[in-house]
Amino acid sequence: MSAPVRVALLFPGQGSQYLGMGRAVAAEFPDAADVFRQADDVLGIALSRLMWEGPETELVRTENAQPAILTHSVAVMRALCAQLGEVSMAAGHSLGEYSAHVAAETLSFEEALEVVRLRSELMSAAGAMRAGSMAAVLGMADEEVEALCEEASDVPGSIVVPANFNSLGQVVISGDADAIERMIALAPQFGAKKVVPLSVSGAFHSPLMEPAEEGLEARLKLADFRAARFPVYCNVDARPVSDGEAARDRLVRQLTRPVRWAASIRAMVGEGANRFVELGPGNVLTGLNRRNARGIESLSVAEPNEIVALGQG
């Protein structure tokens, strides 16, 4: 007798946006179209037009990309609500954790959208205040990257830290540009296969984001958090949260601490997740599951044909 299906929803973070995202879904699914209209109304800008028509140079800006990804993820979720069946748990990568809480009904979409817009503005401002950078380190163990970050930070006023523990052999680092350059120079000597600089507007998930923390915490205190319909695995500690107050706390701490993504997926598998469904733009998290959840069904859903295929599967 086969084990019952335990669905785990995954939601992507910044960097997954693309021009035209969500246009076809809105055209074919009324529930998804409503989400885009809501986003435009709540933010008071034509976010949907920016997502569908660009210019791309504006879409990729942090303060636009984050609300756009949240909106697309929620639109896809609403479009296939009936096909998903019972959901057992969820997680989201960085920004995607807000999408996961909307799915779990910890936060309303409208409130999450307002918070995410402010979060993105605060992060962008922090990046302008103290310029930082990020890079992906490939082929090194987590603890090796952590040790190397400490060595590269051995200069007063210059730091680099692990920002995303994405999968075995893939860790994203974040910090001051000169510290990142030292890491890039040192990493091959310590076994890194490759170090790839990332095009970002700040040193996300590092202490360089501390100026954004106070404003985000103040806004989150005003938000109406409810008990989650199903557990959301949090970036900061890879543990499930169902309590609204605990969710609020984790979202504040998430801003300056690393995303423990691989550990989150392992924890979900340990709790019986046997079908991962990534909702929203791109398929980055589904790709990471080739290492994080070997042999477990993982699929990404962003376009109408993928929504239909999931319903038929």
Whether residue 304 contacts residue 24, with contact meaning beta carbons closer than 8 Å, is answered with yes
Q: Which two tokens stand for residue 120?
A: 């993105």
What are the residues facing 170 on neighbouring strands? Answer: 138, 167
Q: Residue 145 contacts by C-beta under 8 Å, 6 or more apart in sequence?
A: 137, 162, 171, 173
Amino acid identity, residue 10? L
Q: How far apart are CA 53 and CA 69, in angstroms?
A: 15
Whether residue 6 contacts residue 274, with contact meaning beta carbons closer than 8 Å, is answered with yes
Torsion on CA atoms 262, 268, 272, 274, rounded to nearest 10? -60
303: DSSP letter? S
Q: How far apart are CA 209 and CA 130, in angstroms?
A: 9
Q: How far apart are CA 119 and CA 122, in angstroms?
A: 5
Q: What is the CA radius of gyration of the chain?
A: 19
Whether residue 139 contacts residue 218, with contact meaning beta carbons closer than 8 Å, is answered with no
- Of 76, 70, 78, 79, which Cα lies nearest the Cα of 113? 70
For the chain, what is the largest distance between any 2 Cα atoms, rounded to a whole number of angstroms?
Answer: 61
Phi/psi of residue 61, nearest 5 degrees? -65, 140
Which residues are catalytically annotated?
94, 205
88: DSSP letter? E
What are the residues facing 198 on neighbouring strands? Answer: 134
- Work out the number of other CB atoms within 10 angstroms of the CB of residue 181: 16
